[in-house]
Amino acid sequence: MNEIFKLLKLSPTLILLFIVIYFILNPEKVQIWSSILCGLFSAISDRASRRSVKNDIEGRVNYYVKILNKNLPSVKPVGLNITWVSPDEKEEQFFDENKLVLRIRKHPNQNKNFVNASMMYVSKVILKKLKRYLSQTQKDSIDFFVEKSLLEKVKKNALDYFMSDLLMPALEANSKMSELFDKYNIIDKTGLFYPVFLQEMEYLGNKVFYSSKKIRPKIIKEVKEFISFLKNYSDREIGQEDTMQNFEKDYLHCAIMIVAKRQKIGADIKPYVRYIKNLVDRNMENIYIIGPAKKANIQYMKEIIDYAAEKFKYSMCFEGQYSSAILFHGSRTQVSTYLMLLRKIDVQKYYDEEYIKSIQNR
Amino acid sequence: MWKKFFHPIIDKEKLKVVCDLDLEKYLDNLGKLQAVKEGEISCYFCEDTITLENIFCFFPLSGDVKFVCDKGECKLKLSRFIDKDKISL
C-alpha cells in the first residue's frame, strides 16, 4: 500500500514527463493545440490570429504526413511550412524568390484557408516524379482522393467546403474522373489504396526515366489497368479464387498473395514458398502478402517472408496492420488485416538515350 | 524501437502566404494595388476581373505578376499548373 502512495506522490512528475516526451515525439500535436489556444484570442490579437492559422495548417498537414508515412515507408516524408510574407517585402524579392503567394483570409474562414493550402501542398508533393507520365484525369483524381483522405483524417469540418467548392464540380464536369474516384473508394475500403496503389505508383515514378512523350501513353494505359485490377481484387468475395492476383505488364510487376486459409496455419510453409518462387520466376518485383492480423497468422507470415527473402534475394520493405472492409455474402465486413511487402532487391529501371545524355552532361 | 515512435519530418515544402490585413500594402509594393482597385487586372486562367475580394493567389511569371481568382475551376487549373512545375511554391 505504501508503495502505491509513493507512486502516487511521484505521479505528477511522471505524468509531466510523459506529456513532455509525447510532445517531443509529436511536435505537430503541439502545433494543433497551440492553434486552438491562439484561436481563442484571434478576435483581439492579430498576432494570435496569424499563429492560429499557421499552426492549424502546418500542424494538421504534417500530422497527416506522418500517418501517410506509416503506410508508405519508402516515400520520404515532406512536410509543409507556412511562411507569412512581410508587407514591406520589395518587388525585387518577390521576383527573385519566384514563388507563388497564397492569400489567407481572416480567421472565421479557416476551413477555406486550410483546404486551399493543403490542396496546393498535395498537388506539389504527391507522386511528384510519376505525375509527368500520368493523364490529367489520373493526376487530378489522385490529388483529390488524397486531399479528401487528408481532410477526413485531420480536418473533418473542412470537408463540406472541399466537396462543394472543388470536388463535386470537378466530378460533375469529368465523368472519367468520377469513375476513377469510385474505384479508389472501393480500393480504399479494403485498405489497399495507400500501401499498394500509391506505393506501386511511387515505385513506378522512381524507376522510369524516359522522355515522357515516348512512354506516357503506355504508362497511362498500365496505370488505368492497374486501378481496375485492384478494384476487381477489392470487389472479390472472401474465398473467391478466380480473381486475378498478379499484375504483369511492361512496367508494373506485382502480385498479391493471401496467407492464411485457416487450415494452413501452423502447417508447413513450403506451399507458400513454392508459390513465391513461381512469382519470383515470373519477375514480380513486389509481392504483397496479406492475411488476417491474428498473432499466430502474423508469425506464420513472417516465417514465410523471412525464408523467402533470404532464398530469393528479396527484402521485406514494409509491414503494417490496417482495417479493411471485405466482401462476405454480398456485404462488407470490417476485419483487421496484416500486410507485408516483399520487394526485389535489384529492380529493373528504364532509361532512354535522352535521359542518359542529360545525366552525363550534369 | 526509436524509429517506430519518432518520425521527424526533415524536408518541408515552403508555402508563402499573405494575410488579408497585409494584402493591400503588399500589392502596393508590387505596384499592382491601383490596377487591382481599378479593375484593370484579369484572372490568369478565366480572364474575369480581379478584385481585392476575389484574389486567390498571385505569382511571378515572365517578369509580371499574374493573379488567380477564387473560382473552383481556376483553383483546379492552378493545381495542374503547380503539378507541371510551371510555378514553384
Q: Check whether A352 has a pLDDT greater than 70.
A: no
Is residue B38 domain-resident? yes
Residues A46-62 have pLDDT tens digits of: 888 889 999 999 999 99
Structural domain that includes position B62: 2-83
CB within 8 Å of chain B, chain A residues 171-230: 173
Asked whether residue B89 is domain-assigned, the answer is: no
Interchain contact A12–B (C-beta under 8 A): no
Residue A121 with chain B: CB contacts under 8 Å: 13, 15, 89
> Tell me: the pLDDT tens digits for B24-50?
999 999 999 999 999 999 999 999 999
Average pLDDT, chain B: 87
Q: Are A46 and B21 in contact (CB under 8 A)?
A: yes
The answer to whether A123 and A136 have CB atoms below 8 angstroms apart is no
| CB within 8 Å: B58 and A100 | yes
**Structural domain contains residue B15:** yes
* Position A354 confidence tier, pLDDT thresholds 50, 70, 90: low
**pLDDT of B5:** 55
Q: What is the dihedral of CA A91, A92, A96, A99, to 10 degrees?
A: -10
Q: Indicate the number of domains in chain B.
A: 1
Q: Does B16 touch chain A (CB under 8 A)?
A: yes
How close is the nearest chain A Cα to the Cα of B36, in Å? Answer: 15
Does residue B88 sit within a domain? no
Measured CA to CA in angstroms, residue A109 lies from A145, A227, A263, A293, B20 at distances of: 23, 36, 57, 42, 11
User: Using CB atoms, which residue from A95, A102, A166 is nearest to B76?
Assistant: A166
pLDDT at B56 over 80: yes
Per-residue pLDDT averaged across A167-195, rounded? 94
- For the cut 60, the answer to whether the pLDDT of residue A360 exceeds it is no
Q: Does A73 touch chain B (CB under 8 A)?
A: no
A168 has a pLDDT exceeding 70: yes
Q: Taking CA atoms, what residue in A is nearest to B85?
A: A124
Higher pLDDT, A209 or B79: B79
Q: Which of A80, A91, A95 sits opposite B15 (nearest CB)?
A: A80
Quote ipTM for the complex: 0.91
pLDDT band of A115, cuts 50, 70, 90:
very high
Nearest neighbour of B25 by CB, restricted to A87, A91, A106: A87
Alpha helices in chain B (DSSP H): 2-5, 20-29, 33-37, 72-83
Q: Is A119 exposed, middle or buried (0-12, 13-18, 19+ CB in 10 A)?
A: buried
Q: How far is B3 from chain A (nearest CA, A)?
A: 11
In a domain, B72, yes or no: yes
Which member of A65, A99, A125 has the closest CB to residue B16?
A99
Give me the pLDDT at residue A230, please.
Answer: 95
Q: Is the Cα dihedral A86, A91, A96, A97 positive or negative?
A: positive
Residue A264 has pLDDT above 60, yes or no: no
Mean pLDDT of chain A: 86
Q: What DSSP designation does A196 have?
A: I
Distance CA B50, CA B43 (A): 6
Q: Is A124 on the interface with B (CB under 8 A)?
A: yes
| pTM score | 0.87
A-contacting residues of B 30-89, CB under 8 Å?
Answer: 30-31, 55-60, 63, 65, 72-73, 75-76, 78-80, 82-84, 87-89
Amino acid letter for position B49: T
CB environment A32-63: b (16+ within 10 A), e (fewer): bebbeebbeebeeeeebbbbbbbbbbbbbbbb
Mean pLDDT of A172-197: 94
pLDDT band at residue A90, thresholds of 50, 70 and 90?
confident
The shortest C-alpha distance from B54 to chain A (Å) reads 10
Assigned domain for B12 exists: yes
